Amino acid sequence: MSTFEGIIKEIPGISVDRFDGKNLNSTAFFLSHCHSDHMSGLNTVSFQNKLITDNLTLYVSSVSAEILKRLYPEIQKNVQTLPVEQCSVVKVHNEWHVSVTCIPAGHCPGSVMFLFETNHGSRILYTGDFRINTEDITKFKCFYDKFNEVKPVDKIYLDTTFFSPLYSSLPKRQDSLDELCKLILNWTTLDPANCVKLDLRAKYGYEYAFKEIFAKCKMPVHVDQEKFNFYSLIPEMDECVTTNGNETQIHNCKFIQKDVCVFCNKDKLRIIRLSAFRWHGDDFTRGISEVDSEGVFYVCYSTHASYQEGRALINFLRPKDIHVCVKEPNNPDGNVAMEILIKKELDRVNRIEKKKVESTNKLFSIEQIGWGEPRKRSRKNEDSGGVLDSPPR
């Protein structure tokens, strides 16, 4: 859950993913993706009036623009789509412009990271929520200069949801979703009266899961009206959810009779929970799914980067500073531990930078200082074509 307050200190006048309080003084706005914890204030009269009366712009990806158009038609003239993986120049106020490049974040449909570059020489990456395979991070052209060298980055505003050695690695989403669909089909094909209850921790954020279920199990997921209204805003999800429980054996609705949807027989119910938290500290030797003594199934699934994926991003970009965007409001000790981890990462990458300057002639081994493969500073001369296997497709 994002706790970022919206202000990018290094670029006065812009706000990202927060639209209330002091953000109302900003003159250009950015939204990384349409999840409610990144949209605080966006629905308020004060923000929307400010956009309209001051003729200001909210910059988003094309999928997010489509969602916002359905959600808030009154501000659609102030919503502008940014192309993906292309640099756009955005006016912040009269004498101040900033270049911004949207990078696919692989978190949900339309989710992007923003790479901001100012003519004052700051370069800032705001990740929003992201999940990108470690090997894909080096594929984005916007991270390289004209000499094919990785551009120096001053600061990363980082999704730290799973930035902890407890979540060192997480299964690839495609593997998790294959497992989920297998568990669903094993049960639903056994008897047409069998039903699956998807017991999901968060209210939203299962776009890819529902899409994959529809593609593989050929059934929509029964959801309540509120969730239907949200998911059906996303153009590519039109058929993946339904409010008619009779139409499907898969349910993520409000479970009316105690724990069971009225369309399900509780004696013919398989409960499946999607979560990554249950696996903390685990190396997945016991698999990416399991069943407990009550017969409830669990599948490890994450739309946020694992610790290794977060570190791979840091290792590649070697920022001078990192801002933690996900703090736990009720866990001060956890937040201190997070700051210590982040400091360690910064020390590590800064040592690498220092070492690079000291030894200009010989290629050093990063392994000598205890971390993985040496990073290729130069981009391979290959066309990535923008094809990423990070988000399941």
CB of 27 to Zn ion, least distance (A): 25
Residue 135: strand pairing partners: none
* Calpha distance 3→8 (Å, rounded): 14
Q: Of the two residues 113 and 261, which places its CB atom closer to Zn ion in the complex?
A: 261
CB of 2 to Zn ion, least distance (A): 7
Closest-approach residue to Zn ion (CB): 261
Q: Of the two residues 35 and 379, which places its CB atom closer to Zn ion in the complex?
A: 35
The one-letter code for the residue type at 84 is V
Q: Of the two residues 183 and 349, which places its CB atom closer to Zn ion in the complex?
A: 183
Q: Of the two residues 223 and 338, which places its CB atom closer to Zn ion in the complex?
A: 223
To the nearest 10 degrees (0 to 180), the angle between helices 207-217 and 173-188 is 50
CB of 261 to Zn ion, least distance (A): 3
Evaluated on CA atoms 321, 326, 332, 338, the torsion sign reads negative
CB of 137 to Zn ion, least distance (A): 19
Query: In the chain, what are the helix, strand and coil shares in percent, each to the nearest 5?
Result: 35, 20, 45
Residue 307: partners with Cβ closer than 8 Å, 6 or more residues away: 162, 163, 164, 165, 166, 167, 168, 169
331, exposed or middle or buried, with CB in 10 Å at 0-12, 13-18, 19+?
Answer: exposed
Q: Of the two residues 262 and 336, which places its CB atom closer to Zn ion in the complex?
A: 262
CB of 377 to Zn ion, least distance (A): 31
Residue from 106, 132, 131, 154 nearest 10 by CA: 154
**CB neighbours of residue 153 within 10 Å:** 22
Q: Of the two residues 47 and 206, which places its CB atom closer to Zn ion in the complex?
A: 206
CB of 127 to Zn ion, least distance (A): 11
Q: Which residues would be at the binding site for Zn ion (CB under 5 A)?
A: 35, 129, 222, 245, 251, 253, 261
